[in-house]
Structure 1
């Protein structure tokens, strides 16, 4: 049920055999994202449960889920980019059907992130799911 954008990341990861290259690729995905406007970095958009500062600004468009985000940590910014590829442009009613852990498992991320980073990803996914359900 993954989006084409996420499938492209999966294909990139299959091509990159070394985890360090994959890690760098995630960071590059984050660097390629437009920064979140400082005016949107407010308590309402801040995600609790992350080791670093994380903001998700969720704005559904035409019945489809959409969000932008930012972080003060490069790898987390990259993880936000991965989650954007997974969730952006998905119909709102389908967001809850995405098994994010399984999809991210296809990238092998769970084996290479610290416990704090993994908890942060879970917190971001929870925010996404709760907002889509509201």
Structure 2
């Protein structure tokens, strides 16, 4: 499956970052790019459970192509969400089911730096995306 153009951009940027410090800085910068959610969108129904930090996820679907917006109260998580969104935005429901989170973060050079709790939290976000896709396609 080919990567969305935003994901290709993220991959190029992170692969050029030579050290973990550079990737961490890049991650923070990507987190700053996230579109802010409205207060009304930071509701309990939009919250993703399974994350240590608070994470909110908003989904819209147009012609079976998903667009997600997300934010977190934690800077590093916002960065991780930003690069996750580059990977999943624009996918259709069936493509969304096949995204390999661990492989994506490994390609970005970020896998080793994901603590188990962060990894579980991001898995919970992806799982929520998949549930939303299934509920609207079925």
TM class, shorter-length: over 0.9
Q: How many residues align?
A: 134
2-side partners of 1:80 and 1:118: how far apart? 11
Q: 19-28 vs 106-115, which deviates more?
A: 106-115
User: How far apart are residue 77 of structure 1 and its match?
Assistant: 0.8
1:4 matches 2:8: no
Q: String of CA shifts for 1:72-108, please: whole Å, max 9, x gaps.
A: 0011111111111001111223211222221222112
1-side partners of 2:84 and 2:22: how far apart? 19
1:41 matches 2:42: yes
What residue number does 2:105 align with? 104
Q: String of CA shifts for 1:45-81, please: whole Å, max 9, x gaps.
A: 1011111110001111222011111110011111111
1:91 matches 2:76: no
What residue number does 1:70 align with? 71
1-side partners of 2:95 and 2:83: how far apart? 18
Q: 92-101 vs 72-81, which deviates more?
A: 92-101
TM-score by length of 1: 0.93
**Residues 15 and 109 of structure 2 are in contact (CA less than 8 Å); yes or no, is this contact kept in structure 1?**
no
TM-score by length of 2: 0.91
What secondary structure does 1:66 align onto?
strand
1-side partners of 2:12 and 2:53: how far apart? 28
1:61 matches 2:62: yes
2-side partners of 1:56 and 1:90: how far apart? 16
Bigger share in strand: 2
